[in-house]
Amino acid sequence: MQFVKMVRPNDIVDVLIVTFVFIKLAALVKETRAEQLLKGIIILLLATQASALLQLNTINFILRNTMQVGVVAILVVFQPELRRALEKVGRSTFANLFNVENENLDEVIDEIVKAANFMSKERIGALIVIERDTKIGDIIRTGIEMEAKVSAELLINIFIPNTPLHDGAVIIRENKIKAAACLLPLTQNEYLNKELGTRHRAALGITESSDAVVVVVSEESGKISFTLNGDMTRNLTAETLKKALLKTLQPDGKSRENHLKVWRDKLKWKK
């Protein structure tokens, strides 16, 4: 009882904040190289505290100095992972991709779904990036810039094999096709399914470094994939793709990505 009396409201808040930060940190580094790093840091911290309690002075001295030197090593070796984590933290959750009426958004999504469904049946490879809050002008400049209305017919024509613009990604910004044949960064994730090709790795790469949404159509299998925040959901139908795009892009909810989580967990990596 005496211990309970000594606990102040500030102590409870302090513990809750630290717990929240650790949970978010674990979510940011999940399935990356930094996940193993985080586990190693926790083990070192526990070992340092244990050596202090047991008065193992030499071991404690070594561990404390290892932690100090390790901070610099972490910043150098895990710079890409840290950069992506900071970008995720810094993204605004209040801005929206589309500053237009919902019916305009619905029309754009319908055209994307129609094009993806057709290309899936015809085994035409496609890579469609929808810009959101994080601007990707540097990606747009790698391709052929344009200012075109989003239509299924235009998207299909862009990705038809052996045409000048088919090799690369289409970028959609503010309901317009802004560029085609764009080059995307490839994911640094070393633990991906081996059957994923360059398009899928590029889709993961751009969504790891931005909050863009990417639709991928596999040229080999015809499978439609949806990528967001470095997570890929595969083997979507036209119906499930439309639901995913609407729930992610609709400017009508504070937790638009949380609504997507339930069905995404059911479909993730479905073959």
Q: Name which of 66-70, 167-171, 207-211, 228-232 the model is least confident about.
A: 66-70
Q: In percent, how much of the chain has pLDDT > 90?
A: 44
| Digit-coded pLDDT (tens) for 19-48 | 888 787 777 666 555 666 777 778 888 898
Q: Is this model's pTM higher than 0.85 or not?
A: no
Does 14 score more than 60 pLDDT? yes
Residue 44 phi/psi, 5° resolution? -65, -40
Q: In terms of domains, do 37 and 6 share one?
A: yes
In a domain, 97, yes or no: no
Please give the Cα distance from 54 to 30 (Å, whole number): 33
In a domain, 66, yes or no: yes
In a domain, 95, yes or no: no
In a domain, 135, yes or no: yes
Q: In terms of domains, do 220 and 142 share one?
A: yes
CATH of the domain at 117: 3.40.1700.10
More confident residue, 94 or 156: 156
Q: In terms of domains, do 29 and 132 share one?
A: no
Report the pLDDT value the prediction gives residue 266, as an integer from 0 to 100. 47
Mean pLDDT of the chain: 82
Q: In terms of domains, do 190 and 239 share one?
A: yes
Question: Count of domains in the chain?
Answer: 2
Q: Which residues contact 158 (CB under 8 A, 6 or more apart)?
A: 165, 166, 170, 180
| Digit-coded pLDDT (tens) for 147-194 | 999 999 999 999 999 999 999 999 999 999 999 999 999 998 877 877
Q: In terms of domains, do 33 and 122 share one?
A: no
Residue 231 phi/psi, 5° resolution? -110, 135
Q: In terms of domains, do 59 and 183 share one?
A: no
Give the range of the structural domain holding residue 66, as residue numbers without chain letter: 2-90
Q: In terms of domains, do 34 and 139 share one?
A: no
In a domain, 177, yes or no: yes
| Digit-coded pLDDT (tens) for 103-148 | 588 899 999 999 999 999 999 999 999 999 888 999 999 999 999 9
